[in-house]
Amino acid sequence: MILVTGANGRPGSAVVAEFARHGEPVRALVRDPAKAEGLRELPGVEIVHGDMLWPETLESALAGVDRVLMISSAGPQMLETQCTFIDAASKAGVGHIVKFSGQESTDGFDPERFRSTRSHEQIQRYLIASGTPWTLLRPSQFMHVYFEEVPDIVGSGELRLPLGDTTLAPIDIDDIARIAYAVLTTPGHEGETYAMTGPEALTMAEAARHIADAIGKPVRYVDVSSEDKQRAWLEAGYPPPRAAAFAQLFEERRSLGTSTVDLSTHRRFGIEPTSFAQFARRNADVFRGDAPYTVTPA
């Protein structure tokens, strides 16, 4: 049996949907079954309830599991959550843990300088030291994070980010889900690290142009100061530590300036990379403000 954790979240639900699309059974771990309505509609999905921070809640979720895709939120508890889960899964005899990690696309980025990227590095070391066979999935920024800019895009026709002319290489979560499905359902991935980005290093002016083309309305990139963006995040209800951490991360991206595209994993699994233009067209309703979207939770 294959278990996907964080199954109510954005990447987790996309991976579970990919299993359903292939008619392949999968077990989906959720913290809050009330939020799992979408998953319940999918064929072949067994929903189990548990909290990765509390091993005693995971017994039935981990029973008979050969392989896990381990995902949890990128918040301050990620390190404790995933290390606790690795211990529980190893103890339960899980044969292979695939860790959903991350990797900045900007050239020269030092993951040890920022809490969230540092946590991934620490968890990876913990997983490798656990002795349980492992694989690392390391996607760049999700294209879905641009949904967080919908209020400005709809309100003023502006994409307001503190990034200057920096390029980023965001990836479509559906591409990651296809790759995760292949890793989880075929042999030979133990000890492998699969880094992946989208197919282009985009300036934010180019991203704005793709969104504008998709929705048929002008969208202009406005290079705002880090302080202004941090203020906007706070006004939008982001908790202050999260707004501050984002501001720091964006300052680093801005100072590094360029990104490198890495499609080696797409090629390895025969997955056609989704461009930002395709992603924007597929989600035109969201960018027009006509469909709901999920933002990164606090």
Ligand X SMILES: NC(=O)c1ccc[n+]([C@@H]2O[C@H](COP(=O)([O-])OP(=O)(O)OC[C@H]3O[C@@H](n4cnc5c(N)ncnc54)[C@H](OP(=O)(O)O)[C@@H]3O)[C@@H](O)[C@H]2O)c1
How many residues bind to ligand X according to rule CB under 6 A? Answer: 28
Using CB under 6 A as the binding rule, whether residue 273 contacts ligand X is answered as no
Using CB under 6 A as the binding rule, whether residue 296 contacts ligand X is answered as yes
Select from 4, 19, 31, 147 the one that contacts ligand X (CB under 6 A): 31
Of residues 150 through 169, those in contact with ligand X by CB under 6 A are none
Q: Is the dihedral of CA 49, 73, 167, 164 positive or negative?
A: positive
Select from 52, 70, 245, 280 the one that contacts ligand X (CB under 6 A): 52
Q: Is the dihedral of CA 186, 193, 111, 106 positive or negative?
A: negative
Dist CA 21 CA 201 (whole Å)? 30
Using CB under 6 A as the binding rule, whether residue 12 contacts ligand X is answered as yes
Dist CA 6 CA 27 (whole Å)? 11
Using CB under 6 A as the binding rule, whether residue 81 contacts ligand X is answered as yes
Dist CA 63 CA 123 (whole Å)? 23
Structure token digits, residue 181? 């499905």
Nearer CB in complex with ligand X: 73/130: 73
Shortest distance (Å) from residue 57 CB to ligand X: 8
Nearer CB in complex with ligand X: 1/157: 1
Of residues 102 through 121, those in contact with ligand X by CB under 6 A are 102, 116
Select from 23, 32, 37, 216 the one that contacts ligand X (CB under 6 A): 32
Using CB under 6 A as the binding rule, whether residue 265 contacts ligand X is answered as no
Select from 11, 198, 199, 273 the one that contacts ligand X (CB under 6 A): 11
- 254: Cβ–Cβ under 8 A, 6 or more apart, which residues? 162, 163, 164, 166, 226
Select from 47, 73, 111, 226 the one that contacts ligand X (CB under 6 A): 73
36 sits in the region (left: phi over 0; alpha: psi -120 to 50; else beta) called: alpha
Q: CB atoms < 10 A from the CB of 248, how many?
A: 15
Using CB under 6 A as the binding rule, whether residue 100 contacts ligand X is answered as yes
Q: CB atoms < 10 A from the CB of 125, how many?
A: 10
Please give the residue ranges that form the binding site for ligand X (CB under 6 A).
5-6, 8-12, 31-32, 35, 51-53, 71-74, 78, 81, 100, 102, 116, 139, 141-142, 145, 296-297
